[in-house]
Structure 1
Amino acid sequence: LYVPSGYHGQAVPLIVMLHGCTQSPDDFAVGTQMNAAAEKHTILIAYPGQTSSANMQKCWNWFSEGDQQRDRGEPSLIAGITREVMRDFEVDERRVYVAGLSAGGAAAAVMGNAYPDLYAAIGVHSGLPCGAARDMPSAFAAMQRGGKGFTHEAAMSPQSETLGRLVPAIVFHGDRDTTVNPVNADAVVVQSAQGEALRAQVESGQVPGGLAYSRTLHNDATGTTMIEHWLVKGAGHAWFGGSPSGSYTEPSGPDATGEMLRFFLEHPHRASA
Structure 2
Amino acid sequence: MVRNALKRCKAPAVFARPLAFTLFVFSSSQGTMTKSLTSLWLKNLRRVGKVQQAQGRKLFKSLLTPVVRAPVAKRAKAAKTIRPITLKNIKAVKAPASKAAKPRRKPAAAPAQPAASVLPLLPGSWKKSFFTLPGTGLASARRMLYWLYLPSVLSREPRPLVVMLHGCKQTATDFAASTRMNQLAERKGFAVLYPQQSVATDSHRCWHWYRRATQQGQGDVELIAEMVKQVQAKHRLDTSRTYVAGLSAGAGLAAILALRHPRLIAAAGLHSAPVYGTSDSALGGFQAMQQGAGIKHPEAVREFTDAPVKFPGMPVMLIQGRNDPVVRRVNVDHLTAQFALVDAPFITRTEPVVRSYAGRSTGRSPRRAYKTATYYAGRKPMVMKCEIDLLGHAWSGGEGSLDYSAPEGPDATLLMWNFFSRQKRLQSVPGLM
Structure 2-normalised TM-score? 0.59
**Which protein has the bigger helix share?**
2
Q: Find the aligned partners of 1:243 and 1:48 in 2 and give their Cα distance.
A: 20
For 1:135, the equivalent position in structure 2 comes to 281
Match runs of 1:21-100 below 5 Å: 21-70=168-217, 72-100=218-246
Match runs of 1:239-254 below 5 Å: 239-254=395-410
What's the CA shift for 1:211? Answer: 0.9
| Worse-superposed segment, 161-170 or 14-23 | 161-170
The letter of the residue matching 2:425 is H
Q: Find the aligned partners of 1:132 and 1:182 in 2 and give their Cα distance.
A: 16
| Cα deviation 1:183-215 (Å, max 9, x = unaligned) | 111222222221615430110003432311111
Match runs of 1:1-273 below 5 Å: 1-7=148-154, 10-70=157-217, 72-147=218-293, 148=297, 150-151=300-301, 153=303, 162=309, 164-193=311-340, 194=342, 196=344, 197=347, 198-209=350-361, 210-220=367-377, 222-270=378-426, 271=429, 272=432
Q: Identify unmatched segments of 5+ residues in structure 1.
A: none
What's the CA shift for 1:163? Answer: 5.9
Identity of aligned residues (%): 34
| Cα deviation 1:24-63 (Å, max 9, x = unaligned) | 0000000000000000111110000001111121110000
What's the CA shift for 1:134? Answer: 0.9
The letter of the residue matching 1:246 is L
Structure 1 pair 54/152, CA: closer, same or farther in 2 (3 Å)?
farther
Runs of 4+ residues deviating >2 angstroms: 7-10, 152-155, 270-273
What's the CA shift for 1:230? Answer: 0.5
**Which protein has the bigger strand share?**
1
SS at match of 2:240: strand
Q: Identify unmatched segments of 5+ residues in structure 2.
A: 1-147, 362-366
Question: Greater Rg, structure 1 or structure 2?
Answer: 2
| Worse-superposed segment, 122-131 or 203-212 | 203-212
The letter of the residue matching 1:125 is H
Preserved CA contact (<8 Å) 1:116 1:167: yes
Preserved CA contact (<8 Å) 2:356 2:372: yes
Q: Find the aligned partners of 1:204 and 1:178 in 2 and give their Cα distance.
A: 23
Q: Find the aligned partners of 1:42 and 1:163 in 2 and give their Cα distance.
A: 33
The letter of the residue matching 1:213 is Y
SS at match of 1:67: helix
Preserved CA contact (<8 Å) 2:355 2:371: yes
| Worse-superposed segment, 19-28 or 223-232 | 223-232
Preserved CA contact (<8 Å) 2:343 2:382: no
Aligned pairs, number: 267
RMSD: 2.0
SS at match of 2:195: coil
Q: Find the aligned partners of 1:134 and 1:168 in 2 and give their Cα distance.
A: 25
Preserved CA contact (<8 Å) 1:9 1:90: no
Preserved CA contact (<8 Å) 2:165 2:246: yes
Structure 1-normalised TM-score? 0.92
Q: Find the aligned partners of 1:226 and 1:39 in 2 and give their Cα distance.
A: 26
Q: Find the aligned partners of 1:141 and 1:80 in 2 and give their Cα distance.
A: 31
What's the CA shift for 1:261? Answer: 0.6
Q: Find the aligned partners of 1:206 and 1:253 in 2 and give their Cα distance.
A: 11
| Worse-superposed segment, 16-25 or 106-115 | 106-115
SS at match of 2:423: coil
SS at match of 1:2: strand
What's the CA shift for 1:132? Answer: 2.9
SS at match of 1:124: strand
